[in-house]
Amino acid sequence: MAETERENIRESTLEGLDAAARKGKHGGRPQVITEDMLHTVLRRRANGESVEQIQPDLIIPTGKRKGLSPSVASIYRALAEHEKTQAYPEAVETAHADFAALQQRDRSPV
């Protein structure tokens, strides 16, 4: 009986997450590093500056830490994510196309 209840809870949770995703809502914390910040970091790193030198000049524009600088770890994480998208651009394009198709399917009247 407990297994059945657990399976029901799991299915309900997955349905709720799916419904939220269709509405454009995704869980997790918002990104701290904006596209503008990332471009600034990339440009300054290309000029030979280290992340530690760049970090104090960046300011978080929104959220709980608004007005503060992002952590060095957040910057490195954003750089790693950027490198992944640059390494596999066709995978990123395919994912965007698939997501757009799903949104169109969900918006079309049944």
Where do the domains of the chain lie? 1-27, 31-107
Per-residue pLDDT tens for 71-104?
A: 999 999 999 989 988 877 777 788 888 888 887 7
Name the token pair of 85: 């998208």
pTM over 0.75: no
CA 11 to chain centre: 25
Quick one: average pLDDT of 57-83? 92
20 or 109, which is more confident?
20
C-alpha 84/C-alpha 105 separation (Å) is: 28
What is the structure's pLDDT at 84? 85
The least confident of 18-22, 40-44, 58-62, 76-80 is 18-22
CA-based nearest residue to 53, from 75, 36, 22, 29? 75
24 or 9, which is more confident?
9
What is the structure's pLDDT at 25? 81
Which band of pLDDT confidence, cut at 50, 70 and 90, is reported for residue 109?
low
Sign of CA dihedral 61, 64, 65, 67: positive
44 or 96, which is more confident?
44
C-alpha 79/C-alpha 51 separation (Å) is: 10
What is the structure's pLDDT at 92? 72
